[in-house]
Amino acid sequence: MSDDIRASHILRNTDGRSKDDALREIEDLKAQIDDGANFAELAEEHSDCPSGSGGGDLGEFGRGMMVKPFEEAAFALDVDAISEPVETDFGYHLILRTA
């Protein structure tokens, strides 16, 4: 399964907030991470995905298992790199490739 990767993410969805607000929030979280904040801790506090309770860990996945924009961004990252905001039908994500 050498084509599998492992990643974590933070999701800010658009349920109850505008796309602009969700994007602004995810950009703020990215700035905090860039300034040294812990990705997993921010995921636990701010992610709208159930994976947030586990620091945003999504486990291993292969191509075709995630929505296309998420997959493309995750597979393009180097290990330990964090994406810029990625928009999907679920909202905005920050993706941390962990393996």
User: How confident is the model over 40-91, as pLDDT tens digits?
Assistant: 999 999 999 999 999 999 999 999 999 999 999 999 999 999 999 999 999 9
Provide mean pLDDT across the span 13-42: 97
Q: What is the pLDDT of residues 51-63, one digit of tens each?
A: 999 999 999 999 9
What is the C-alpha separation between 76 and 81, in angstroms, rounded? 10
Average pLDDT over residues 30-37: 98
Which residue from 61, 62, 65, 45 is spatially nearest to 53, judged by alpha carbons?
45
Q: Which helix (H) or strand (E) holds 8?
A: strand 5-12
Give all domains of the chain, ordered by start, each with its CATH number. Answer: 5-97 (3.10.50.40)
**Would you state the pLDDT for residue 95?**
98
C-alpha distances (whole Å) from 7 to each of 2, 41, 46, 84 are 15, 15, 17, 14
Structure tokens at 23: 């994007």
Which strands make up the sheet holding 57-61, listed edge to edge? 57-61, 5-12, 91-97, 86-88
Q: Is the pLDDT of residue 1 over 60?
A: no
pTM above 0.75, yes or no: yes
